[in-house]
Structure 1
Amino acid sequence: MSTDSTRSESPGLDGLPTAFQSEDQLVIALDFGTTFSGVAYAFANGPKPDVISIMDWPGLEGFQQPKVPTLICYDANEPGGFTWGGQKHKTDVVQGVKLLLDPDQPRPVYLPESTARSDLRRLAKPAIEAAKLAGIHPVTLIKEPEAAAMYTLHKMQDKALAVGDAFVICDAGGGTVDLISYEITQLFPRLELKELVPGKGGMAGSLGLNKRFEEAVKNLVGEEQFFHLRKSRGFTLAVQQFDRSVKTAFRGDLYEDYYVNFPMARLNDDPDRNLIANCWNMKGCDVKAIFDPLIQDIERLVDEQVNLVTMKRVADGHPKADQIKAIFLVGGFGSSQYLKSCLEKDHLEIQVIQPHGAWGAIAKGAVLSQLPQEALIVSNQATRHYGVEATSLFEERTDKGQMKHFDKSTGKYRVARMTWYIHRGEDLLREQTIKFPFFRSLEDGFLDRRLIFRSELIQSECKTAPIYPSPSSTTINCVLTADLRSVDRSHFKKRIGVDGVTYVDVHFDLVITIKPAVMKFSLEINGKEMGTVNAKYD
């Protein structure tokens, strides 16, 4: 249910036959990030499999790190050739592609316009097609904050954990910051958790720091100089220096000095603004001005999550309602000491923890999610309402003003209403099945192709689920195609309509099974799985 997800090339080991489980099982996880991406793996045999991050990358020789830059460069002068990650790029690179996976995500006012959308159009193959060509199948999805939780609990298992403990995960990455919260429901024989409130997120990742640094440089040197500087190697090196040194070192000290160099840039000296010999002496206040708009957004997101958790547990009469054990910071931006100190000041009563190796937490957590001996998340919170549009008898008193249509088979007017089967904030148990009843009426003598039905799964993010479908409150999640051509006609019922025509009534259930980060669809008639159903997402 989320566009923010991590891939694991294992369908889950629990469902494998014993003969296969006796062999080495390799679980590979890919964390596709906005600014950096990582890969981790583990051989799933043995009581405590070792989860390993890929640390060596092309173009980053001499550096060992669990992630590589999410950059791609296609050279028009060398058809078929491209560079990626840490390799040297001859032309402009494609970056920030992941942000386009959620086009409805509001862009903060402090982020300049990105070229990512136009960059994406230059890609020769959509990523999903590339994955199929590479043979990556089957693929299991897991939400990034959930993967972060798996990693965090794995690292914290030797700490004092108790049933009823609640904690908040803040996954602060390159593009987005995601919040999720859990409560421990069982310690033995296997650690189990439930999600407490729907997760939230926003575009407050560290990529925004780089964009704001770029704007700060533009304000420093002026538009005319910046026009030429922006295309130079010196500017690229300066951004790298800010990214690798200044961002990681800043702890909030206003009197600390930081230096950023623009080699061979030939910038005009400006001693009043600490720019001399192509070197900008940034003061702590300069860096703080770059950080603070994003920090404030993250603080707001964390505050909202903490308050929602507290209110829910108070409403439930939980004995630990006023206690949240910890806020865990993971992800690249989550490693920032300045961010940690700001959250500690905001939440004096809650411990703020940065688990060791948090930058590579997502990929490792995705691997751990597929290992049977690790923690198990038994339920999630629905982040939206899910349902279908159905027609009901028109009632003048309640449906006044709504568009109606005449049903000739019953001789009555009908109106479109929403039927909701999943409500926002509802607990969704893993492997829980939810049935959506569907009904179609066909005139007798219909052609086989009429037994292919297309229906829309509707979603709404409104606080209260709307009664009627509307562009302002409901959107299409996916289009479901149910194929009943192979179903025995004895399962359908005939009737004579008020118009004297013979109709065939087709009743079937669309069955949704809750999986990590996704929904699996199947089709049932009279409680038995029949026919097929396919889901198409825009």
Structure 2
Amino acid sequence: MPADALHNRQPNRDADRLKIIVGVDYGTTFTGVSYVTSDKTSIDDIDVFRTWPGDGRPVEGNWKTPTVIAYGAENGKGSRNRWGYEVRRGMEACSWTKLLLDTSAETAEFDDPSLREAAGSAFFRLPPGKDAKAVCQDFLSEVYRFVVHNLEMRMTPEIFNMTPMECYLTIPAIWTDKARSATRDAAKAAGFGSRPFDTICMIAEPEAAAIAALRKDLRPGSVNAVKAGDNILIADCGGGTVDITTYTVRKTFPALEFDEICVGTGGKCGSTYIDRNFLALMSKRFGKSFDDVPLKRKGPGSEFMASFERAKQSFGTAGFGTSGDESFEIYPIDMQGSLNPDHYDEDEAAVILSKGDMEEVFDLVVKDVLRLVSQQVKIALDTRDKRINLIVLAGGFGNSDYLKRKLDEWCATNGGIKCIRPDFCQASVVRGAAIRGLEKTIPATLICRRHYGFSWGLPFVPGRDDEKNAFFKWGVKYCRGHMNWMIAKGAELTASTYKTANVRRIWLQGDSYLLTLELYSCALDIPAARLEHEGVVRVGTIRLDFTNVDMSRFEQRQGDFGTEFDLEYQIGVKFRSDEGVLKCFCLSEGRLIGDATISFTEIAGYG
């Protein structure tokens, strides 16, 4: 097979040219940015942004800025869009929008069950005339302008304008292909990778966290140094999603080499799940008194929820939130009616939460994380005979002392697995993204998370096939809707892994040269045999342009409607492209023909 079909790129004559490497951790609740120039040789040279625009930012700086945008058109005549720490309490704003990018039917076992209901409510508000992808693009546009401004200040506009930028955008590993594509499209439309010499690549969040941990916190000579043969579980616990992946270390010197062990797992059960549990508790406890409070006073971005965020972060820390008589005041929230003073301080306009209340809103989420970890540890042992000996916590929710303590307790009763939380673990993902760009560190093999394939017609078998699916071709009776899976869930993926499927179709002279084929996936362990099975998900449409193909290369025959061309070719899919999305190509007799692209299913919203 031609090498260019595998790599689909020309030799880079500018390989030694100075580049700016930018990591972007676009999170559900917070977003971080890192950067380094390609002439640097140490990962310690990576700079993580800690100063953000807005008078709401902490004086000492922060690793991330809130993923929130308030549109000027909705917040006063003539005002501009505000984002991150610029968004003030009481503004009409959009939060948690990233979760709306993945609206697949592939609901995971550990997804927050209230998420779909919440997504249809005002908590996931979208401005009139904008969908989730547009809002994400608008937020990332603000981030891009901020990044460009900072880089121009540091290296002058002239040098920035002539220096290529490589952007490494992180995404949840559990994201579907269409969500990956939507995220990439939004980032590119926002400006990342938009200049002729700029590029944009995507990296899974737990993979970035693993790279950061292995190259910094677990490197040779460190307190927790890993060695060849160690098996590591990364628990990337963020605001919207939790990703659990496992890796085995091949070697640490002279260069790091590691592989993914088994199919990763996860769910939309990050720390915003705790927020939704808290709001549900408030509604249950105070009823109409709480429900009647305007959304901007109690929803994401409100001062009330900012107060709860501080309580979340402190819960479980040594000496605070660990004794039975601890209480937490969440304020301000003005409620009407006769309310129990044990739960509401009218003078301070504050809700009073007991330690038991905090455990109630935390434990549903923490238990899901522990079940995910337990499941992955078992799968690694049962399917690959790999015993996990180290767990690394990453992500913003990973910074929770309560979660860390519960995970330590689980480890103590499950073989004494060691659990660590690197310093500033909320910055692990964005730092790992920049390390990927600087050192090109990648796992040698990843594990395919789904089956991928096509719907085929097979010769009709009486008793097996339904007559309603029957059709005739070349005088032979066929049955449509049989699935032909080209790669299996659990298959190893190297940097060059691709699979092909044979295609045969009739083309009449005068027909369009633009041909299409639907690509499907299935996340079940045993793939579905038929297209109509609920486990089969449409990934997108592969579009083939045969305009410049010499059709005489194919066999011809005279049919009832003129000359029929018997098109026989192969559709190929590359599963690990540099860009982080599926790539496809078309072959005939071993040669690349036509132009092949894939258009992913459109993102709408939770229905």
Do these two structures clear the TM 0.5 threshold for a shared fold by scoring above it?
yes
- 1:98 is matched with 98
Whether the 8 Å contact between 2:262 and 2:379 is mirrored in structure 1 is: yes
Deviating more after overlay: 163-172 vs 517-526: 517-526
Query: What does the per-residue CA deviation read over 1:426-472, in whole Å, with 9 as the maximum and x for residues that have no partner?
Result: 111122122222222224xx02x533211001111222122221142
Equivalent residue runs for 1:80-95 within 5 Å: 81-89=80-88, 91-95=91-95
Counterpart Cα distance in 1 of 2:458 and 2:291: 63
Change in CA separation of 1:188 and 1:437 when aligned onto 2, cut-off 3 Å: farther
Partner of 1:139: 200
Contact 1:23–1:45 (CA<8 Å) still a contact in 2? no
- In the alignment, does 2:409 pair up with 1:345? yes
Tell me the TM-score normalized by structure 1: 0.87
> Is the contact between residue 254 and residue 283 of structure 1 (CA under 8 Å) also seen in structure 2?
no
Shift of the alpha carbon at 1:377?
0.6
Encode CA deviations 1:148-197: one digit per residue, 9 max, x unaligned. Answer: 11111112112432322211111110011111111122334321221111
Shift of 1:25: 1.3
Q: What is the rounded CA distance, in whole Å, between the counterparts of 2:302 and 2:79 in structure 1?
A: 26
User: What is the TM-score of this pair, normalised by structure 2?
Assistant: 0.77
Distance in 1 (CA, whole Å) between partners of 2:249 and 2:265 is 20
**Range that drifts further, 222-231 or 179-188:** 222-231
Q: Deviations over 1:280-336 (max 9, x none)?
A: 45332221112111111111111111111111123xxxxxx4x31211110010111
Number of paired residues? 511
When residues 15 and 255 of structure 1 are mapped into structure 2, their CA distance, relative to the original with a 3 A threshold, is farther
Q: Residues 264 and 93 (structure 1 numbering): CA distance in 2 closer, same or farther, change over 3 Å?
A: closer
In 2, are the aligned partners of 1:250 and 1:287 still within 8 Å (CA)?
Answer: no
Equivalent residue for 1:317? none
Give the direction of change, closer, same or farther, for the CA distance of 1:120–1:475 in structure 2 (3 Å limit): farther
Would the alpha carbon gap of residues 500 and 298 (structure 1) be closer, same or farther in structure 2, given more than 3 Å must change?
closer
Does residue 519 of structure 1 match 2:576? no
Query: Residues 350 and 401 of structure 1: is their aligned pair in 2 closer, same or farther, counting only changes over 3 Å?
Result: farther
Matching of residue 113 in structure 1 with residue 118 in structure 2: yes
Q: Which residues of 2 match residues 238-387 of structure 1 at below 5 A?
A: 238-251=304-317, 253-255=322-324, 257-263=326-332, 265=334, 270-273=340-343, 275=345, 277-278=347-348, 279-314=350-385, 321=386, 323-348=387-412, 349-372=416-439, 375-387=441-453
Alignment of 1:37-76 (within 5 A): 37-49=31-43, 50-59=45-54, 60=57, 62-76=59-73
CA-CA distance at 1:260 after TM superposition: 2.0
Inter-partner Cα distance in structure 2 for 1:109 and 1:397: 40
Match of 2:516, SS state, is strand
Secondary structure of 1:119's partner? coil
Match of 1:483 in 2: 545
Q: How many percent of aligned residue pairs carry the same amino acid?
A: 25
- Does residue 415 of structure 1 match 2:479? yes
1:123 aligns with 2:186: no
Matched, 1:388 2:444: no
C-alpha separation between the residues in 2 aligned to 1:296 and 1:233? Answer: 26
1:365 CA drift (Å): 1.2
Contact 2:297 2:304 in 1 (8 A): no
Q: Helix, strand or coil for the counterpart of 1:355?
A: coil
Evaluate the alpha carbon distance shift between residue 231 and residue 450 of structure 1 in structure 2; reply closer, same or farther with a 3 A threshold.
closer
The 1-side partners of 2:553 and 2:531 are apart by 31
TM-aligned CA deviation for residue 379 of structure 1: 1.4
1:434 matched to 2:499? The reply is yes
Structure 1 pair 147–46 and aligned structure 2 pair: CA distance change class (3 A): same
2:307 alignment partner AA: Q
Shift of 1:256: 5.3
Structure 2 counterpart of 1:403: 469
Structure 2, unaligned stretches of length 5 or more?
1-6, 138-184, 602-607
Quickly say closer, same or farther: Cα 1:239–1:174, change in 2 above 3 A: same
Q: Which residue in 1 is equivalent to 2:535?
A: 473
The superposition leaves residues 84-121 of structure 1 with CA deviations (integer Å, 9 ceiling, x where unpaired) of 11113352211110111111346524667243554265
- Partner of 1:194, secondary structure, is strand
| Cα distance change on mapping 1:242 and 1:133 into 2, 3 Å | closer
Give, in whole Å, the separation in 2 of the partners of 1:290 and 1:395: 55
CA contact (8 A) 2:188 2:200 kept: no
Query: 2 CA distance for matches of 1:71 and 1:221?
Result: 28
Residue number in structure 1 paired with 2:20: 26
In structure 2, what is the Cα distance between the partners aligned to 1:411 and 1:45? 65
The code of the aligned residue for 2:394 comes to V
Deviation at 1:236, TM superposition (A): 3.2
- The letter of the residue matching 2:329 is V
Alignment of 1:187-198 (within 5 A): 187-198=252-263
How far 1:358 sits from its partner (Å)?
A: 1.0
* Whole-angstrom distance in 2 between the partners of 1:67 and 1:98: 16
Unaligned runs of 5+ in 1: 1-11, 315-320
Distance 2:400 2:333 in 1: 31
* Counterpart AA for 1:297: D
Decide whether aligned partners of structure 1 residues 413 and 237 sit closer, same or farther in structure 2, where only a CA change above 3 A counts.
same
Q: Is the 8 A contact 2:233 2:246 kept in 1?
A: yes
> Following the alignment from structure 2 to structure 1, what is the Cα–Cα distance between the partners of residues 187 and 433?
21
State the one-letter code of the partner of 1:262.
Y
CA distance in 2, matches of 1:110, 1:451: 46
2:296 is the counterpart of 1:223: no
- For 1:113, the aligned partner's letter is A
* Aligned residue identity for 2:303: L
> Taking structure 1 as reference, are residues 205 and 440 closer, same or farther at Cα in structure 2, changes over 3 Å only?
same
The code of the aligned residue for 2:475 comes to G
Structure 1 residue 149 corresponds to structure 2 residue 210: yes
Amino acid at match of 1:346: W
Distance change >3 Å, CA 81–CA 418, structure 1 → 2: same
Task: Report the AA paired with residue 363 of structure 2.
Answer: D
Contact 2:260-2:443 within 8 A present in 1 as well: yes
> In the alignment, residue 393 of structure 1 is paired with which amino acid?
P
The amino acid across from 2:191 in the alignment is A
Return 203-212 or 279-288, whichever deviates more: 279-288
